[in-house]
Structure 1
Amino acid sequence: MNRRKFLNLTGTFTGGSLLLPDFLYSFGAQNNLVFGEQCLVFVQLNGGNDGLNTFIPFEDPLYYDLRPKIAISKNEILNSAKGMAFHPALKGFASMQQSGDLSVIQNVGYPNPVRSHFRSQEIWQTAPTNQEYLNEGWLGRYLDLQCKEHQPTAGINIDSIDNLALKGEEPNSITVKDPNRFITKNRQENDSQLSDNPQLDFVRKIASSVVEGSDDIQKALSKSAVSDVIYPKTSLAKNLEWISKLIKGNLNSKVYYTSLGGFDTHDNQLSIHKNKLTELNDAVFSFYQDLKKSQQLQNVTIVVFSEFGRRVKDNGRGTDHGTAAPMFIIGGNNRGKIIGKNPNLLDLDNGDLKHEIDFRSVYNSLLKNKLDFDSSQIGIRNKPLEGLF
């Protein structure tokens, strides 16, 4: 089944309140995972975030020469260090770095970059060796090996559509839009099959898995301590607030995933990008404060990334699809460093940044250092990124 069909079919069973036909119900005992306390939280920035205007090489005159219409003034930048600084909308990110809780990984990408949103997201989500097409995501493959038995809530995707990164041979993750409304209509055992079609029967298995996990989500929400952190009234902030509640309620999922769209800034970039970075900053910083106050930050590693950056030269009002861009790692006892060389605006590949760090090296480091897992078991053989943890 190709990815588009998979998302269309499984999307029927996700988000909001769960209302499934009675014949889809199938139940089994669900035990919380006990793999230790560490978990990963991914925030995917869809559309291709402009890394050069997010973490800015303000000391390089070429930055201003190549971006006369959209460069961020030196008078506005935040927390300058080693020739780099944050966009003025990222006050929380600057504060987290000053506190030693945020690492910036510069020039992250992959060889022979693809500028298609859909395909590049697919590459990041499946982590193939040579851009081959894979049916399972890198986190789904990890969960397949890590879960000795079927665990519906091993991975949680807070979104309106499923995420390929979490897709495995077994449905060890579920997608939900609003965990508070994520309840089953009734409880009824039924062994009837959806159809004789194995693809549709796989969807039935996903639906059953969703039902199995709903009780554990509700239990975690009921046990979660009330936070005194006030989250912004945005969709990303709400998603991260849900994730915080599930973590504090001991759901014990190993992976949480959510996303923020709107970063495809071909036009009117200064205004649009500022608004999106503000939404990102305020949501993530609230989440960070919540985890820190509840003494969970050392157990939670937040990963912020986009499928590619933007071209170095502006197009007059914005930027077009590019290649390498920074990743941000928050919490999880990371070292709070700036990793990698500053973007080299003099040595470009047909107007684009050359990637220095392969994203799969970052994945390897996360799996090795946070989840005690050998990434070669899921086909990731890049060396782990040094100096992150």
Structure 2
Amino acid sequence: MSRPTEVEVLLRELAPQAVAALTRRYGDFDLCEDAVQEALLTASQTWPAAGIPDSPRGWLITVASRRRIELWRANAARRRREEAVAALDETDAPPPTSVDDSLTLVMLCCHPALTPSSQVALTLRAVGGLTTAEIARAFLVPEATIAQRISRAKQRIRDSGAPFAMPDDAHRSARLTSVLRVLYLIFTEGHTASSGPDATRVELASEAIRLARMLRALVPDDGEVAGLLALMLLTDARRPARTGRDGALIPLAAQDRSLWDTAAISEGVALITHALADAAIGPYQVQAAIAAVHDEARTAADTDWDEILGLYDLLARLEPGPMVTLNRIVALAEVDGPFVALAQLESVADGAGLAGHYRVDVVRAHLLERAGDPDAAREAFRTAARRTLSTPEQRYLEQQALRLTDGK
């Protein structure tokens, strides 16, 4: 995938500022967001040839404001309801200001009235500056589906009567939790694609990291924001070694660690070290600490599995969930052996969130192989391959089953 151009980088940085400026001025988030999207398109077409304006933010806000008025004037119902505003002319754009309402915009996109999938799509478009087509390509769904999802999300926000304002103290923490979850979902889908032909979707992972950096700049003292950014950096640092030249998956223990991004690891370790020392501990910080233990091990054999198991025990208390349970079992196998881990796995395999999940079969296969039962391991690999929707993972699991067949 080609690197974004200077114009693309700048427009994605300015997109949330422009949407926030117009929404604060006019109030109609849905119309303002549409107007900014059209201004972004105009800028992407004209700036590469004409050059970036002296005040790109002001240019974008002015053009978007004009387009918003054009859209508003085309809406007869709105014109009747807001007749008093009809006197606005095209020069009545909100003046550029040093105030950055990006965090307010992020909070609005993660309104509790929206479903998680709608929050993700709206955040990527309004805050990330991605077009509907780019979001659709990233998630391998039709553009019309994403367009409908965004349209419904904006309608729900409009119907809820939510003002463009920072939530009060009673709701801010919960809303920030939703924001972090949305960014985590975007990153996770980018780092390990849940379906399709590619193991990763670099554009999604990179966008999640960019948005997490923006959020960190807006709330620098929040330990969980720092923890999430650290987790993304420490996980993404291993991406160059996760696949071979043919796109085949390479498990963590077999990766060439010289390919890992040492700068990202250093930044991530520094972030999580500072957060754990200065902020109340939370689940993203614990996950980042686990990633740091993996990344700081010079070889797979050097991994401190006792520390990782202890961290998973803590994570299970802070935020229990099926994947936490499964990952803890993997760590338990490294500490107490495959038989203890298998017993734990069978006791939870049919539980909520794990029953029928292909990752249960993956873990079971690895544990059975280590326990000396290659036939059962081979069948577990085959079952996992049938259940996954990811083509690279399917190929990897089928290869593992074939390896055990050939070894008979």
TM-score normalized with structure 2 length: 0.26
| Structure in which a larger fraction of residues adopt helix | 2
Which of the two has greater strand per residue? 1
